[in-house]
Amino acid sequence: MSAGRRLALAAACLCWLTAAAPACAQGLPLPAPGTYKLDRIFRAPFGVTSEGGMWPHLLSRDTEGAITLLSFFYTQCVDPLGCPLAWEAFGAVRAALQKRPALAARTRLAFYSFDPAHDGPALQLFAASYSAGAPPVWRFITGWNDFFMRRTLSHFGQEISPARNGDDGRVVIDHMLKVFLIDRAGWVREIYTTGFLDPKAILGDIETLALEEERARP
Amino acid sequence: MKRQKMVPSMLRAGVVALSLWGAGARADETCLSPYTAALIRGQEKYLQVWTLGVKGMGDESDKLVTVNVDPKSPDYGKVVATLSVGGRGEAHHMGFTDDRKYLWAGRLDDNKIFVFDVGTDPGKPKLVKTIDDLVPKSGFVGPHTFYALPGRMIVGALSNAKDHGGATGLAVYSNAGEFLSAHPLPTTDGGDGYGYDIGINPQKNAMLTSSFTGWNNYMMDFGKLVADPAAMKNFGATMVMWNLKSMQPDKVFSVPGAPLEIRWSLKDGDDWAITATALTSQLWLVKKDDKGAWVAKDVAAIGDPAKIPLPVDISIAADGKSLWVNTFMDGMTRLFDLNNPEQPKEIYSKHTGSQVNMVSQSWDGKRVYVTTSLLANWDKKGADDEQFLKAFDWNGKELTEKFKIDFYGLKLGRAHHMKFTGEAQKAASVAPTRL
């Protein structure tokens, strides 16, 4: 993808974020929530995580029991189409969900850092700042140790390069932006990349999973 | 809250720290799924050729042949690895997973799908999985097109298990090789149910499919087929625009004559795709009309349609301004000017073999590769049954042959689909995707 197309893509995303009308791309309309199915792509793995404190947690705490939007990130990332774009998309999804409390209460946002050396202490600060608002909850986690982090990344197909120092002294970890939508049972049901990180599509998928849950109830 | 303010400010300031890794991850290669990572913008190192085994030749097995195509290598133009998979099942097309670590390759007759690891050592691929549940899981036959979605692979089929005719569909697998879902091609509202290629435009939530023919025809001797009027009626004559998110057909276009490969223009701002019809020898354009409705229209003839040159593979330039077209029967490699996609014009042609099928160009358009086999029973007979890989340089005016590998001379078989690979993906700090 050329730089022009990347910027156009970013503009399209920002267009959605700043305007009421979502039809920036003028493509085929997104289907109404609940009118389509999302495949069960793979199950979120077993893992052990840290939220920056002393105690470990199971990854399933953040991948089961609610509809979860999960992305891998690191706080020093400044690639505008990397972590910041995920951050913007999550922010847009969160803002939209906050207008729909019932759906928000069934949804969780999660950022998983693959730079625990720098992000460990920051996770608790992020968690504190983002838990102050209305649901959905926004969790900030990392691997309990290097073994669990690499195992989790591998299972999700989230590749990262070895860390290196950028020109401005920041840590740079090259990676492909991926965002995972996980259902209440822990199945990954959709994967969004930069080319298709549309908050409106994500919201439609979240609502589709919620409707699926309701239909499955006896 | 500090972080919330910082990120948008970075966006507004246009801080660009795109890594090569990240840039590649989001790029389109001219004929790959837009979700495919690690675009090769420079010199490709290897070319993998999915090759049909021939009875009485070498080990007789279908095989993945790896050729070194790096001019700086002492092995340039040489076969550096062959990986036989056993048996002959009509080896045909291949496609990368979204992470470009794995190459899926299908066989149209026995319906097996082979998954090769080409990320760890592209110069020496390894077979890591064989998928053999397409028919029982989906009812489809003839795994043809392999088109990556994030974490998944769409397998476009050609036929079905009930009557081996052309009605078929799309099967979706996880990257781990687990069957996920089946999506029949439409047979109502003008649909004929036939399938062939897939082309996705994520920004438009759009997926296009094209249509060829079923097992009964593609496994039949070509001479016998063309002499059978009833069989000749059993070819696809449609393209379908799908809603990508719902995986539901949105609109069926009438495109007579078996529309095959689909190429969306990759030029920024372009909003069209092009295909070639095998039997009617025409280029068709799919784009929006003045009212914003998607339409398909016949925009140019390829060669002399009356002579049935049989257009097969096409390869679009990265800037969307030109298109290579191979015509099988006359062995021509043709270049069309697409500056006005409504009126493509042939601007160059060269006889590259007695029969030519696949054509692949590098991202910069400076190198063009050609192979020969169409289908085992459709390839020419006798001396005209050349089987080779030819590499050409393109200087904007002339194709100059750099090397030729005689696949029969090396007892390899029939050379079909090609894919480029680059350096080993050594930068990854995590293990390959589980299989």
* CATH number, residue A62: 3.40.30.10
Whether B219 contacts B110, CB under 8 Å: no
Residues with Cβ within 8 Å of B317's Cβ and at least 6 positions away in sequence, in order, are B30, B323, B338, B361, B365
Q: Which residues in B lie closer than 8 A to residue A9 (C-beta atoms)?
A: 203
Taking residue A196's Cβ as centre, other Cβ atoms within 10 Å add up to: 22
User: Closest partner residue to B10 among A39, A78, A150, by Cβ?
Assistant: A78
Domain that holds residue A12: 3-17+37-216
Q: Which residues in B lie closer than 8 A to residue A6 (C-beta atoms)?
A: 18, 26
Question: Which two three-digit tokens encode residue A81?
Answer: 């189409």
User: How confident is the model at residue A48, as a pLDDT?
Assistant: 97
Whether A202 contacts A181, CB under 8 Å: yes
User: How confident is the model at residue B19, as a pLDDT?
Assistant: 32
User: How confident is the model at residue A13, as a pLDDT?
Assistant: 38
Q: How distant is the alpha carbon of residue B335 from its chain centre?
A: 18
Query: Phi and psi of B407, rounded to 5°?
Result: -70, -30
Whether residue B204 and residue A27 make contact (CB cut-off 8 A), yes or no, is yes
User: Closest partner residue to B203 among A25, A80, A159, by Cβ?
Assistant: A25
pLDDT of residue A153 exceeding 80: yes
Question: Which two three-digit tokens encode residue B273?
Answer: 């795709």
CA-based nearest distance A148→chain B, Å: 11
Question: Which two three-digit tokens encode residue A140?
Answer: 């900030």
CA-based nearest distance A51→chain B, Å: 17
Partner residues linked to B336 by β-bridges? B323, B346
Total structural domains within chain A: 1
User: Does A23 fall in a domain?
Assistant: no
End-to-end Cα, chain B, rounded Å: 41
Searching chain A, which residue's CA lies closest to the CA of residue B183?
A37
Question: Which two three-digit tokens encode residue B26?
Answer: 């989001």
pLDDT of residue A162 exceeding 70: yes
Whether residue A154 and residue B206 make contact (CB cut-off 8 A), yes or no, is no
Report helix, strand or coil for B262: strand
Question: Which two three-digit tokens encode residue A128?
Answer: 């504190």
User: Closest partner residue to B176 among A14, A42, A87, by Cβ?
Assistant: A42
User: Does A104 fall in a domain?
Assistant: yes
Average pLDDT per consecutive 10 residues, chain B (435 residues; last block may be shorter): 34 30 39 87 95 98 98 98 98 96 97 97 97 98 97 98 98 98 97 97 94 98 96 98 97 98 93 97 96 96 96 96 98 98 98 98 95 98 97 98 98 97 62 36
Asked if B25 has any chain A CB less than 8 Å from its own CB, the reply is yes
User: How confident is the model at residue B88, as a pLDDT?
Assistant: 98
Distance CA A36, CA B247 (A): 8
Give B307-332 as a DSSP string.
G---EEEEEE-TTSSEEEEEETTTTE
User: Does A31 fall in a domain?
Assistant: no
**Which B residues, 122 through 141, put their C-beta within 8 Å of a C-beta on chain A?**
none
Q: Are strands A107-113 and A67-73 parallel, antiparallel or unpaired?
A: parallel
Residue with tokens 């959905």: A136
User: Does A106 fall in a domain?
Assistant: yes
Query: Phi and psi of B222, rounded to 5°?
Result: -65, -40
User: Closest partner residue to A195 among B2, B35, B152, by Cβ?
Assistant: B35
User: Does A181 fall in a domain?
Assistant: yes
Distance CA B192, CA A96 (A): 42
Residue with tokens 């014009």: B345
Whether A190 contacts A37, CB under 8 Å: no
Distance CA B193, CA B215 (A): 14
Give A32-92 as a DSSP string.
PTTSS-----EEPPP-EEE-SSSSEEEGGGGTSSSEEEEEEE-TT---TTSHHHHHHHHHH
Report the mean per-residue pLDDT for chain A.
85
Query: Which CA distances in Å does A147 have to A122, A154, A180, B375, B426?
Result: 21, 11, 21, 48, 19
User: How confident is the model at residue A163, as a pLDDT?
Assistant: 85
Q: Return the amino acid letter for A111.
A: F
pLDDT of residue A16 exceeding 90: no
Partner residues linked to B406 by β-bridges? B388
Q: How distant is the alpha carbon of residue B48 from its chain centre?
A: 13
Give B89-126 as a 3 state SS string: CCEEEEEECCCCCEEEEEECCCCCEEEEECCCCCCCCE
User: Does A25 fall in a domain?
Assistant: no
Whether residue A30 and residue B432 make contact (CB cut-off 8 A), yes or no, is no
Residue A24 vs residue B416, higher pLDDT:
B416
User: How confident is the model at residue A171, as a pLDDT?
Assistant: 85
Partner residues linked to B275 by β-bridges? B262, B284
User: How confident is the model at residue B399, as a pLDDT?
Assistant: 98
User: Does A82 fall in a domain?
Assistant: yes
Searching chain B, which residue's CA lies closest to the CA of residue A200?
B245
User: Does A29 fall in a domain?
Assistant: no
A51-92 pLDDT per residue, tens? 988 899 999 999 999 999 999 998 888 888 788 888 899 999
pLDDT of residue A196 exceeding 80: no
